Chains A and B, each alone.
Chain A
């Protein structure tokens, strides 16, 4: 009976092919350092899940952002857990992604045929930092407000274009409701969409070329 259902589904979904091509692949002998990529993916998923939950109560407006975060932390069951995981997940994700990149660098895994995987990986690293930068402002507390003031100020030192970049980042010359709103949009829509897309490409390339092996004297 189950066999029949499975066969019916397999005929239409190609489950066995999927299993063979995605999961039952041969790989070089694994190394614990090779788990950092999947750890980054795991953290991304955790951030996505907790982030989605946070938007249930969070309000991106200077009047309410602070109070809504306070409500999440003190008024909602397990709000402290969801926000705690999101907060610490951000920190861990920056570390894990960075160490993953160092591992790839030191084992020279970016070389032929994995150049594009590296290129996309650098993009993922920059997007991760962007997520951290935009997410930091959202609680609208003293720390985040002034950190963002300084951070955008630094972008404003670019010769000739500085003032323009500053205004584009802040949505005006000053840090305001517009800044909060566009950082929120970037943090929950634009950057995650870009991240998800690049992660897909990154994974496709890893499956296509296989995980690189740990270099030996011959390499």
Chain B
């Protein structure tokens, strides 16, 4: 650039400055308005959207699908599309290092590549068109980032459409733009802008079709994240009930395992006393749960050996539950002391949703779920409780106090009808006795005909007033 051009640029700038404004307060005022808008936006985002809670990092969880930060998603997608290219696609570093590296280099050295003094947009058709295409491509690749390149039925159509939208059209358009700029010099800027616009519309169209035919992302049923102490205790309680009660009992007192295949009759130390809680810190307790005690017969529950195992966060919840429930140095927060189910009034009929489900979850589900030895009696849903089991005809009979279910929870084992010396069903739960109020709730529920929702149960409820109750309604508490 010669001195004359430099002089011209300076003079032009001076003319603009003379017609301009003062930095303070004119420009700063505008800056401040924008800053205030951004600040307001930040406060709103922080207040109303906040930061989603995520489970704790779990290096042993290899099933987690990793995703980069949103502003690197386009590179991620570019890499995936690039990988589809035959032969070249196998050389990964071209996409991960070479292309982004060259792009950054060009961007950095821009003032030394584009050395003309021209600034008006019609005089810079090539760089503006290329940058526009790159920006559109970055946005579209980001939008497509969650769509896999191969659909579930093995069709590669989605992948090809993505390659067309994200790689082929912008690539070919850029080559065409370069040709127009350097091989045919008399092409007007307007033509180049139109070409860019048409290419962008095509890219948007193809991206739209990709998003349209892509399978809708299924809401992932990730475990909820408990953030407050009370929630963590409750989450730990639920996890303990499902995973641990089978061997350790609902109160951690069990010293001899009963009714667990492979571990029958094994003697174990109780886990609710000082020996465990005072001598093992949180991290050690978590490790015991995660890796088990193989020599002592305890299975590992973490994800290291079993992808469906407990996550690090879940194990932490169990540890917190054990601490606050059994460790006498800790005080259970008052909010965490709520009863398992709302206490029943006289004549009130419990419902599955409100009363029975929490009981089942706490005391039964550890064994009565798929994959355990339980006479095929599954208790994981209302339907399964009523319709599964080897003895389903006799297990739960509405209004019948001799239902097997009610017998075993009250301490009466069911003898095998073919061979009275053997038991068909032992008392339940195998290693403890349910509290009287729980047994009462279960009796009332079955005697009243197993209502599911609170409304159904309310209809069956008998007010213990001297008024004549609805006749024929089965109820444990007889109306006077």
Inter-subunit contact B20/A73 (CB<8 Å): no
Interface residues of A in 172-219 (CB under 8 A from B): 175, 210-213, 215-219
**A132: interface (CB < 8 Å):** yes
Interface string of B87-130 (1 = CB under 8 A from A): 00000110011000000100110111010011111001001100
With A and B bound together, what is the CA distance between A154 and B96 in angstroms?
6
Q: List 8 A-B contacts (CB under 8 A).
A: A27-B26, A30-B26, A35-B31, A42-B39, A142-B311, A151-B69, A213-B20, A218-B120
Q: Nearest chain B CB to A103's CB is how many angstroms away?
A: 11
**A127: interface (CB < 8 Å):** no
With A and B bound together, what is the CA distance between A109 and B119 in angstroms?
8
List the B residue with the shortest CB-CB distance to A62.
B57
Inter-subunit contact A219/B38 (CB<8 Å): no
A-B pairs, 6 with minimum CB distance: A84-B46, A146-B66, A141-B54, A145-B57, A23-B24, A219-B119
Q: Which of B10-18, B379-387, B423-431, B447-455 sits within the interface? A: B10-18
List the A residue with the shortest CB-CB distance to B31.
A38
Q: Nearest chain A CB to B58's CB is how many angstroms away?
A: 6
Q: Chain A: interface residue count, which band?
A: 35 or more
Given A84-B47, A141-B54, does the pair A46, B23 have CB atoms closer than 8 Å?
A: no
Inter-subunit contact B22/A24 (CB<8 Å): yes
**B70: interface (CB < 8 Å):** yes
List the B residue with the shortest CB-CB distance to A82.
B46
Inter-subunit contact B57/A141 (CB<8 Å): yes
**B172: interface (CB < 8 Å):** no
Inter-subunit contact A132/B56 (CB<8 Å): no
Interface residues of A in 134-160 (CB under 8 A from B): 136, 139-147, 149-151, 154, 157-159
Most B CB within 10 A of own CB, among A106, A110, A212: A106
Q: Of A35, A89, A126, A217, which one neighbours B30 at CB under 8 angstroms?
A: A35
List the B residue with the shortest CB-CB distance to A88.
B45
Instruction: Report chain B residues within 8 Å CB of A43.
Output: 38
Inter-subunit contact B64/A146 (CB<8 Å): yes
Instruction: Report chain B residues within 8 Å CB of A42.
Output: 31, 35, 38-39
**A119: interface (CB < 8 Å):** yes
With A and B bound together, what is the CA distance between A120 and B335 in angstroms?
56
With A and B bound together, what is the CA distance between A46 and B43 in angstroms?
12
Known: A43-B38, A83-B51. 10 other contacts (CB 8 A): A29-B19, A46-B39, A87-B46, A106-B131, A108-B119, A122-B107, A140-B57, A142-B64, A157-B92, A219-B120
Inter-subunit contact A84/B51 (CB<8 Å): yes
Instruction: Report chain B residues within 8 Å CB of A30.
Output: 20-21, 26-27, 30
**A115: interface (CB < 8 Å):** yes
Instruction: Report chain A residues within 8 Å CB of B33.
Output: 35
Inter-subunit contact B66/A149 (CB<8 Å): yes
Instruction: Report chain B residues within 8 Å CB of A210.
Output: 13, 17
Instruction: Report chain A residues within 8 Å CB of B46.
Output: 80-81, 83-85, 87-88
List the B residue with the shortest CB-CB distance to A123.
B108
A-B interface pairs (CB < 8 A), number: 223
Inter-subunit contact A129/B135 (CB<8 Å): no
**B227: interface (CB < 8 Å):** yes
Inter-subunit contact A158/B9 (CB<8 Å): no
* Chain B contact residue count (CB 8 A cutoff): 79
Instruction: Report chain A residues within 8 Å CB of B227.
Output: 70, 73-74
**B401: interface (CB < 8 Å):** no
Interface residues of B in 264-308 (CB under 8 A from A): 283
Interface residues of A in 94-111 (CB under 8 A from B): 94, 96, 102, 105-111
Inter-subunit contact B16/A147 (CB<8 Å): no
**B389: interface (CB < 8 Å):** no
Instruction: Report chain A residues within 8 Å CB of B262.
Output: none
Inter-subunit contact B19/A39 (CB<8 Å): no
Given A80-B50, A111-B117, does the pair A34, B127 have CB atoms closer than 8 Å?
A: no
Instruction: Report chain B residues within 8 Å CB of A212.
Output: 13
Interface residues of B in 35-79 (CB under 8 A from A): 35, 38-39, 41-43, 45-47, 49-51, 53-59, 61, 64-72, 75-76, 79
Most A CB within 10 A of own CB, among B1, B26, B57, B79: B57
Residues of B bordering A, CB below 8 Å: 1, 5-6, 9, 12-13, 16-24, 26-28, 30-31, 33-35, 38-39, 41-43, 45-47, 49-51, 53-59, 61, 64-72, 75-76, 79, 92-93, 96-97, 104, 107-108, 110-112, 114, 117-121, 124, 127-128, 131, 135, 227-228, 283, 311
Inter-subunit contact A66/B56 (CB<8 Å): yes
Inter-subunit contact A136/B51 (CB<8 Å): no
Q: Of A108, A115, A147, which one neighbours B66 at CB under 8 angstroms?
A: A147
Inter-subunit contact A27/B21 (CB<8 Å): yes
Inter-subunit contact B111/A111 (CB<8 Å): yes
Inter-subunit contact B96/A157 (CB<8 Å): yes
With A and B bound together, what is the CA distance between A89 and B41 in angstroms?
10
Q: Nearest chain A CB to B1's CB is how many angstroms away?
A: 6
Instruction: Report chain A residues within 8 Å CB of B35.
Output: 38-39, 42
Instruction: Report chain A residues within 8 Å CB of B67.
Output: 143, 146-147, 150
Instruction: Report chain B residues within 8 Å CB of A150.
Output: 66-68, 76
Instruction: Report chain B residues within 8 Å CB of A80.
Output: 46, 50-51
Inter-subunit contact A132/B57 (CB<8 Å): no
Inter-subunit contact A110/B51 (CB<8 Å): no
Inter-subunit contact A91/B38 (CB<8 Å): no
Interface residues of A in 54-94 (CB under 8 A from B): 62-63, 66, 70, 73-74, 80-81, 83-85, 87-89, 91-92, 94
Instruction: Report chain B residues within 8 Å CB of A129.
Output: 71
Instruction: Report chain B residues within 8 Å CB of A219.
Output: 12, 117-120
Given A23-B23, A29-B20, does the pair A108, B107 have CB atoms closer than 8 Å?
A: no
With A and B bound together, what is the CA distance between A175 and B33 in angstroms?
43
Given A91-B70, A157-B96, does the pair A108, B51 have CB atoms closer than 8 Å?
A: no
With A and B bound together, what is the CA distance between A141 and B55 in angstroms?
6
Inter-subunit contact B57/A144 (CB<8 Å): yes
List the A residue with the shortest CB-CB distance to B10.
A113
Instruction: Report chain B residues within 8 Å CB of A89.
Output: 42
List the A residue with the shortest CB-CB distance to B135.
A102
List the A residue with the shortest CB-CB distance to B95.
A157
Inter-subunit contact A218/B12 (CB<8 Å): yes
